[in-house]
A and B are shown apart, each in its own frame.
Chain A
Amino acid sequence: SQQGEEDPQALSIQEGENATMNCSYKTSINNLQWYRQNSGRGLVHLILIRSNEREKHSGRLRVTLDTSKKSSSLLITASRAADTASYFCVPSNTGRRALTFGSGTRLQVQP
């Protein structure tokens, strides 16, 4: 299925540290998206990286994509307590409307 697998399942860091989450997938893709879910809320789209891009930045977020290894990473720099959430990667093809989600990485940032 076109679903990402996030690693680690859980991550606990101190405020100010960097957090790195990894994603692997199995199918060919046009793009890969990252979403965040705060406790008790819906998912929020963070960033999209296209298959012809290797790296993309947005504020404190840095995403990489290696299509030869079918993997992606999400780096959050200088983490804050407010970054505490679950993070999901979603590989996608433009022609496929529905997105399916894995189990995510639960990030805990200790103040």
Chain B
Amino acid sequence: DAGVIQSPRHEVTEMGQEVTLRCKPISGHNSLFWYRQTMMRGLELLIYFNNNVPIDDSGMPEDRFSAKMPNASFSTLKIQPSEPRDSAVYFCASRQDRGNSPLHFGNGTRLTVT
């Protein structure tokens, strides 16, 4: 299995631009999570999906952030418009929603907004 795949690996953009981060979860996993990691705030849960349905988006910082999961093998996190304070590493993770199955993380997208 290729694991959780995120793209792009790095993104540098100017303030005000739209940014789209992509994630392909592990096949067969039915829960997907978006996290954001910064030095100041650590690892924050932004939103998670179960069976492609958003369950909890209380961690999404502002309306500028939106996430979709159109099917079981793809999810996007969009920031529009982006701001310098959005600079962070964004991780996607997936798991089988069964028992104590662990989270599997992608290697993240490092976003820099100038």
Contacts and interface: CB of A to CB of B under 8 A. Distances in A.
A70 interface: no
B107 A97 contact: no
Interface of B: 4, 31, 33, 35, 42-43, 45, 48, 50, 55-56, 91, 93, 97, 99-100, 102-108
A102 B105 CA distance: 16
B106 A45 contact: no
Interface of A: 30-31, 33, 35, 40-45, 48, 50, 88, 92, 94, 97-104
Interface centre among A42, A97, A100, A101 (most CB of B within 10 A): A42
29 contacts: A30-B100, A33-B100, A40-B107, A40-B108, A41-B107, A41-B108, A42-B93, A42-B105, A42-B106, A42-B107, A45-B104, A48-B102, A50-B100, A92-B100, A94-B99, A94-B100, A97-B31, A97-B48, A97-B55, A97-B97, A98-B33, A98-B48, A98-B55, A98-B56, A99-B33, A99-B103, A100-B45, A101-B42, A101-B43
A45 B102 contact: yes
A97 B45 CA distance: 12
A101 B59 CA distance: 13
Nearest to B95: A97
Contact of B102 (A33, A94, A104): A33
Contacts of A88: 43
B32 to A, nearest CB: 10
Contacts of A42: 4, 91, 93, 105-108
A53 to B, nearest CB: 12
B77 to A, nearest CB: 15
Given A35-B103, A41-B107, A98-B56, 11 more contacts: A40-B108, A41-B108, A42-B93, A43-B43, A45-B102, A45-B103, A94-B100, A97-B48, A98-B48, A99-B103, A102-B42
A30 to B, nearest CB: 7
